[in-house]
Amino acid sequence: MSKNQEESHSTEGPEEETVIESADIGPYPRPMPEGLFDEMPTVSVVFSDGSEEDLFQFYPDEIDFSEEELIGLTREEVSELRRKKDREYLQS
């Protein structure tokens, strides 16, 4: 079998993208004025490959996220969702 034939018969399929299996958002800041210097909520996720990552923080008085809307998304899709929500807020 030639090298090209071996490559075409490879058992490896296309690499699957990792998706979010679980997400945690928080903690949220206390109400103002007490929460003025509190940290913003962090979006923390667990991907389908088992890796864990804090993706970003956000201002909850401008945009918000739910764990449910993040499940099944890739890192790139979550990034696009955040940009979309930012744009919508800035254009409102």
Q: Where are the domains of the chain?
A: 17-90
The whole model's pTM is what? 0.78
For the chain, 92 residues long, give each residue's pLDDT as a single digit of tens.
444 444 444 445 456 789 999 999 999 999 989 999 999 999 999 999 999 999 999 999 999 999 999 999 999 999 999 999 999 999 99
Strand 42-47 and strand 52-57: the pairing is antiparallel
Find all residues with CB under 8 Å of 81, minimum gap 6, and list them: 65, 69, 70, 73
